[in-house]
Amino acid sequence: MQLIDFFDKGAARDPARAFLVDDAGGRTYGQVQALSHRIVNALRRDGVAAGAKAAVYAPNATRAFECVIGIIRACCVWVPVNVRNLVGDTAFVLDNTDTELLFYSAEFADQAHELLRACPRIRRAICLDSAATGHVGFDAWLADTAERSEETPASRDDPITLFSSGGTTGRPKGVVMSHACWETMIAGTLALQPHAHPVHLVAAPMTHAAGGGALALLPMAATNVMLPAFDPVRVMEAIERHRVTHLFLPPTAVYRLLAHPDVRNYDYSSLRYFNYASAPMSPDKVREAIGVFGPVMMTAFGQSECGVNISFFSPQDHVDVLAAPDSRRLASCGRASPFARVAIMDEQGGLLAPGEHGEIVVRSNSVMRGYYKNPEETARAREHGWHHTGDIGYLDPEGWLYLVDRKRDMIISGGFNIFPSEIEKVVLAHPAVQDCSVVGVPDELWGEAIKAVVQLKPGGVFDAAEMEAFCRRSLGGYKVPKSFEVWPELPRSPVGKVLKREVRARFWQGQGRNI
């Protein structure tokens, strides 16, 4: 099947149901279906063939995601780009993926013109608004196009999306996902997050997991409520107003919700699946979130290269773990989903026994077809017949997966290998802490010394000696941070992840270390 077939299933199920809702209003499945056919006809009129790369440079909004559906129906390849990225970084992504077509919002017209100067392969630009920006407006571009288009034949292995690998360190790589990859991801969502009438809140960028979640919910005829950006109050209001059932936020955004003084003043009874995947979350914060939002928290292991729901930790699993005498399993990211195999591998390619730490490797039909025009990195990711995630973890005897840390984030201090996430979970349990990042910093004695950089909750009070004592109650002595710093705000990626690379860089400048 093609990815667009799943949208058409949703439209056939309920054409009058709202597909997209934003501050300007709503659009039904039937309306978006007709518009997507018009987009195909306009692209074919302009000579844009199947397989061409197309990007939408706009914040979360109805018109922007309508264009995504049109791109997918045309069997072009969607290249997601986030308006919060630096223009130079976005230009690299567009140029690296050979993008030919750019839809953009008028409020970002200046940046769009910069991109067009930097990316000569883009041969067509369309402004999503009627404002004069030097390019044809969307409505004029669609003039006189029919609401039905000829179906574009495609193989299940043809590319349909080109997301970027996690760009918190170094240059991102283009991740080639096919129709078959999306078919597997959608099957997983149907199996693991079923609901008769989903209402999905897109508060994180649609160019990342939140947009992928919207695509995964297509055959359930989900309504997608689009917020232009994450804002704690707007998220809380939207859940109550729109009776949201499905929501994804990275842990750092969840921490901001929990730190808000009004977080307990809204109605969250409609929620069924509150996904906090994308990074490890402190078990203490998970407990707090369940206390606030109800027994709806869930998580999974996944990444751009292998899709979502490689493992799954359901809301009911959370309830069961909290009811057990030992709740340490709350630190897990679940067991392998029905459509994936998960194992732990050593440096030589051998699979490790339960409890042994190594690289998390995956087999699934949702694994990418490769990195775009990068056969060396593709081969490296496929060594020994498994997809290599670059994450360190372990499996317990019952098959529960635990994410320890990224291989590149490991600290070597005094000869010990130390994973920052273990320390971060302890620091995050402190009632004054909203978020933190633990890094290794230069030290003549230890090689690297552990430093915890902390962002406090509003009104939080910090005392380094008290924090050290707090950490010593849960960590071995060699894992206790040697120093602490309080920053007003931790640096974050456009999708809300803490940029550990930038934190580390402030302490290693001029040291010659590859950060």
pLDDT in tens, 266-308: 999 999 999 998 776 788 889 999 999 999 999 999 999 999 8
Q: Look up residue 418 and give its two tokens.
A: 């130390």
Q: Residue 179's pLDDT is what? A: 98
The tens digit of pLDDT for each residue in 36-47 reads 999 999 999 999
pLDDT score recorded for residue 168 = 40
Mean pLDDT of the region 124-147: 91
Q: Is the pLDDT of residue 134 over 90?
A: no
**What confidence tens digit (pLDDT) does each residue in 53-68 have?**
999 999 999 999 999 9
CATH level 2 (architecture), domain 3-189: 3-Layer(aba) Sandwich (3.40)
- Residue that the structure tokens 């809702």 belong to: 21
Condensed to tens digits (0 to 9), the pLDDT of residues 403-453 reads 887 777 878 776 667 878 889 989 999 999 999 999 989 887 677 889 999
What is the reported pLDDT for 167? 45
pLDDT of 170 over the 60 cut: no
Chain segment 303-338, per-residue pLDDT in tens? 999 998 899 999 999 999 999 888 889 989 999 999
What's the pTM value of the predicted model, to 2 decimals?
A: 0.84
Within this chain, domains 230-406 and 410-508 share the same CATH topology:
no
Among 338, 367, 357, which residue's Cα sits nearest to residue 401?
357
Check pLDDT > 60 for residue 232: yes
Pull the structure tokens for residue 192.
């693991």
- What percent of the chain lies above the pLDDT cut of 70? 97
CA 337 to chain centre: 18
Q: Residue 169: which pLDDT band, with cuts at 50, 70 and 90?
A: very low
Residue 389's pLDDT band (cuts 50, 70, 90): very high
Type of residue numbered 33: Q
Q: Which residue has the higher pLDDT, 168 or 106?
A: 106
Is the confidence at residue 140, as pLDDT, over 80?
Answer: yes
Q: What's the count of helices (H) and strands (E) in the chain, helices before strands?
A: 16, 25
Q: Which residue has the higher pLDDT, 514 or 340?
A: 340
Q: How many Å apart are CA 131 and CA 114, to the nearest integer?
A: 18
Dist CA 38 CA 284 (whole Å): 50
Least reliable range by pLDDT among 170-174, 255-259, 353-357, 439-443: 170-174
Indicate if the pLDDT at residue 512 is higher than 50: no
Please state the rounded mean pLDDT for residues 127-152.
Answer: 92
Distance (Å, rounded) from C-alpha 224 to C-alpha 222? 6
Q: What's residue 498's pLDDT?
A: 86
CA distances, 256 to each of 20, 260, 272 (Å): 26, 6, 20
Residue 199 pLDDT > 90: yes
- CATH H-level, domain 230-406: superfamily: ANL, N-terminal domain (3.40.50.12780)
pLDDT at residue 131 in the model: 73
The rounded distance, in Å, linking the Cα atoms of 160 and 51 is 8
Residue carrying structure tokens 């995504």: 68
**What's the CA gap between 91 and 271, in Å, rounded?**
38
- Domain made up of 410-508: CATH architecture: 2-Layer Sandwich (3.30)
Going across the sheet that includes 401-406, the strands are 341-345, 358-363, 387-395, 401-406
Task: Identify the pLDDT of residue 410.
Answer: 76
Mean pLDDT of the chain: 92
Q: Which residues contact 162 (CB under 8 A, 6 or more apart)?
A: 53, 77, 78, 79, 80, 97, 174, 175, 176, 177, 372
pLDDT at 415: 60
Tokens 């004695």 label which residue? 445
pLDDT (0 to 100) of residue 206: 95
The domain spans of the chain are 3-189, 230-406, 410-508
